[in-house]
Chains A and B, each alone.
Chain A
Amino acid sequence: MNKVMSNKWFITLYLLPALLLLTVLIFIPLLLTGYYGLMSWDGIGAMSFIGLDNYINVVQDATFWQSAGHSFLLALFSTLSLLLYLAVSLILASKIKGANVFRKVYLIPMLLSSVAIAQLWIKIYNPSNGMLNTMLGWIGVENPPLWLADPSIVLYSIFIPILWQYAGFYILIYYAALKGIPETIIEAAKIDGASPLQIALRIKLPLIMGVIKVTIVLAVVGSLKYFDLIFVMTGGGPNGASEVMASYMYKLAFGSYNFGYGSAVGFALLVITLIVTYIVRRLTANKEDIQY
């Protein structure tokens, strides 16, 4: 039996397609990104080796750091919005009828493509007849902002649809975690006279802390590599006011054919994402995870 189940030919044959795709299309390109970063290259012509120049330029590139700053601001907003999602999930999980329907309805935006969401929100933000400014007009706002054209607010205008898009996803995760708490623990607290608020803050939240930490990592990492919606809604503009790391990289490579420098920025994006993931994981490491 064991002999059949350790047939080397069979193992190799069945592993090969997946392993080949993983290596050739995910791992090798990653290494190549680092390598291309050492080159001066327009993507089509010959490469010439220029050492660490591109990487040194990235470190000194004010535009790169500005877009990195925008990415980090998005990470901060996404993390803070988790509080809101958590509050909704606490209400949703408190044994009420229809919770299932609500949590599914909340999920709908996440199923749509970022491109469709971006186009939809461009229309919502439209200054003359978009949904938002029409509503503001009803309550008497005379000069509503130009949501996507004003450099001082464009970044926040873009954050809103991103938070909208992912709300259902996080609510779903929190809801599942809260539903996993054994009923007996809540009952015991009720008998001891704990108020619903106390139960939520002192019992439920600590019990799902592991899941909360995971969602923080997801929100931060997801924000650092965020691209689609921003690319479609503003293309990083006006004047770089909504540029993020990934959109800057894209613009360098496929907008101005600076593949060498674009690769260096892509590699910086990878390094920053990995370092921040590591730090966030360390900060939220489970020293004493609660078992129940």
Chain B
Amino acid sequence: MSTNSTEKKWDRRSADTAERLEAASRYIGPGKQFKPEDTVALLEAVIRAGDRVNIEGNNQKQADFLAECLNKVDKSRIHDLHMVQSAVPLPVHLDLFENGIAKKLDFAFGGPQAGRVAKFISEGKLELGAIHTYLELFGRYFLDLTPKVSLICAYKADRQGNLYTGFNTEDTPTIVEATKFRQGIVIAQVNEIVDTLPRVDIPADWIDGVVQSPKPFFIEPLFTRDPALVTESQILLAMLCLKGIYAEYEVKRINHGIGFLTSAIELLLPTYGEELGLKGKACTHMILNPHPTMIPAIESGWVDTIHCFGGELGMEKYVAARPDVFFTGPDGTLRSNRAYAQTAGHYALDMFIGGTLQIDKYGNSSTATASRVAGFGGAPNMGCDAKGRRHVTDSWLKVGKEMPTLDRQIGNMPRGKRLVVQGVETFGEGRAPVFVEELDAWKLAENAKLDLPPVMIYGDDLTHVVTEEGIAYLNRCADIEARMAAIRAVAGYTEIGLKANPDETRQLREAGIVKTPEDLGVDRSRANRSLLAARNIRDLVSWSGGLYNPPARFRNW
């Protein structure tokens, strides 16, 4: 065994970490605690220029205090950081780029900062790595984008530095695991430090520093849709989905996006869904945050299982009181996990249904435009046909059987396909047409010097489009020409829709590739709010037996 000085070193990373922690040690006391007023100094000790840094923040739970402190470090020492994080929803996340502390960004979701991200890119203040899906970014944490330092948040720490992330566990385990097990540094902000935790979600020896933030971390009720705002048009779309897709394919395992269409579907399950005889045949297993609009369906016995990406403000007590449905810990509270929910979403789901801002004539869709880089979050993982899937379900097989082209690719081998459904009104926000010749994502790609336009869901993954005109069953189309014709047929009075040829549409209807509400036997006149199981937030509270505690801004009583 050689011991000379030319020996290769294999512990440079841990040696580097030890050196940084040594510099930080004068701020860190028992239980890894440090004082809020020492936070900036501590960050200056553990972060170096050019580091890859993660700030925990998804679309809900935010390590906001640590993010603010990172903005105050000496930028002559700490600069050119490469931020790798799920989301950049807070102004402070982008202030890092304005202040010259950070340079490059890899992320999944932009949320309210979407406009500013686009502006920074075009001004050259921000170098964009890629817009990832959550799972893709998490995957890269374990390969080529591992953070050196991660700034995370939790509800509580105990005196030893163990963390309780509870209801909103979300991204925390993934970030900590990737960072700590590659000899990185993990700093946590918590709302309070207590003697005994309800349960330990992250063990103390994976954590290097804990600070009680001056105020509790910011959390956004992102998945609360007020039933009072559901429109009759959305109710019609929801009826079409239930009759033409949920009933047709008897889809049991589903992810619902956060839009009003899926809220409308959730609120129609105990009424129209029950009338269609779907109870027990559809929506039994769901991957979604604890949407308050799911309460009536859960209470009516529709749902067997719900696994959650994250929590939702106000749903804590309700979820804790329904442990047969949700994943709750021995302490009785929910433990969400974004990575696991995304994995289930990618491999175990039979259907993804959501909306989008734009769909092109081929069926490609995106929420990213030239002036808004909103990102996609998890939609592309759930809104695609996972090639690695090997287990069958009836609905998955049925969609596969309906595809006329499978034999041209894999001969006589049977294969299923995930249902990927986009439900949109032909004109969306601000009366902008949803169906367009070319996605704005092309312009964004040009602005941001990206090699490919950021597409949320590719046309070949899309199986169904639902609009107020009807449903296009794209999986039943033999080629791209037929798919384009089917999309035109349901695109209404948009430029794309006006190119539809009535004869062609009639043939598509006869072939069952396009179905109007009349073809499906959906009575348009019944599409009104009296069909909703709950018509306002107050009704949801009543359905929950008083367990749902809506945030103040949703209370109109």
Question: A and B from one assembly?
Answer: no
